[in-house]
């Protein structure tokens, strides 16, 4: 599915970073970043330009090829790993930051990935997430998965990351302008926590 989505000359989610990530990049810990489901690489490349050591993981090799192309065009390097998050091992105490931007996972996998992400952070490491909430289903046409099970709620994330210090946790609405696949009014959750 994702290979097909990315099999176009267009960067379907644009080449600019996610607004929430861009606005909060100064809250990240200097060092390494793991970008979950980074697709065509807009967020990983942005962070590499800020001096972070970036590893982007995604299940689409087509998307990651475009990510490497975008990195080269911006004069930076990112490491890419083609893997399904079901199978990708996040080692304990490995990453200074883990970024999850519109990475919508079914509940059992979400719980697993969030648990290993919390454990995968170094001391002082930061987990940053933006995703759609169930209310987003009332706003057709902006993008995102069409089923409530794949949306995230604030209480769910607080539970998933109860071992971390909460920095920011907000359900809000905002205008999203991130390529042709994410465009318009959206209901999102914005979440930052520190180990």
pLDDT tens digits in sequence order for the chain, 195 residues long: 765 766 677 777 778 999 999 999 999 999 999 999 999 999 999 999 999 999 999 999 999 999 999 999 999 999 999 999 999 999 999 999 999 999 999 999 999 999 999 999 999 999 999 999 999 888 776 777 888 899 999 999 999 999 999 999 999 999 888 866 667 888 999 999 999
pLDDT for residue 180: 67
Beta strands in 65-164 (DSSP E): 79-82, 95-101, 121-132
Residue 172 lies in a domain: yes
CATH number assigned to the domain comprising residue 49: 3.40.50.150
pLDDT for residue 179: 67
**Residue 67: helix, strand or coil by DSSP?**
helix
Residue 113 lies in a domain: yes
The domain of 153 spans 19-194
pTM, entire model: 0.95
Residue 75 lies in a domain: yes
Residue 7 lies in a domain: no
Closest CA to 168 of 118, 129, 111: 129
pLDDT for residue 88: 96
Residue 41 lies in a domain: yes
Backbone dihedral region for residue 169 (phi beyond 0: left; psi -120 to 50: alpha; all else: beta): beta
pLDDT for residue 147: 86
b/e per residue, 39-53, with b = 16+ CB within 10 A? Answer: bbbbbbbbbbeeebb
- Are the C-beta atoms of residues 153 and 187 closer than 8 Å to each other? no
Tell me how many domains the chain contains.
Answer: 1
pLDDT for residue 145: 80
Largest Cα span, the chain: 42
186: part of which helix (H) or strand (E)?
strand 182-194
Residue 58 lies in a domain: yes
Q: Are strands 32-36 and 95-101 parallel, antiparallel or unpaired?
A: parallel
Residue 3 lies in a domain: no
pLDDT for residue 182: 66
Residue 9 lies in a domain: no
């Amino acid at each position: 599915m994702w290979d097909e989505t990315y099999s176009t000359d267009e960067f379907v989610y644009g080449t600019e970073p996610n607004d929430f990530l861009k606005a909060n990049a100064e809250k990240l810990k200097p060092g390494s970043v793991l970008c979950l489901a980074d697709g065509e690489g807009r967020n990983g490349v942005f962070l590499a330009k800020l001096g972070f050591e970036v590893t982007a993981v995604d299940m689409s090799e087509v998307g990651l090829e475009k990510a490497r192309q975008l990195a080269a065009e911006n004069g930076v390097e990112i490491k890419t790993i083609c893997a399904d998050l079901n199978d990708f091992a996040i080692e304990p105490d490995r990453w200074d930051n883990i970024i999850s931007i519109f990475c919508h996972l079914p509940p059992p996998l979400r719980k697993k990935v969030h648990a290993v992400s919390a454990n995968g952070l170094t001391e002082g490491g930061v987990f940053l997430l933006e995703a759609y909430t169930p209310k987003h289903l009332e706003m057709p046409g902006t993008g995102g998965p069409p089923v409530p099970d794949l949306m995230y709620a604030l209480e769910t994330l607080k539970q998933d990351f109860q071992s971390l210090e909460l920095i920011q946790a907000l359900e809000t609405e905002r205008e999203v302008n991130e390529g042709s696949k994410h465009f318009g009014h959206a209901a999102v959750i914005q979440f930052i926590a520190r180990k």
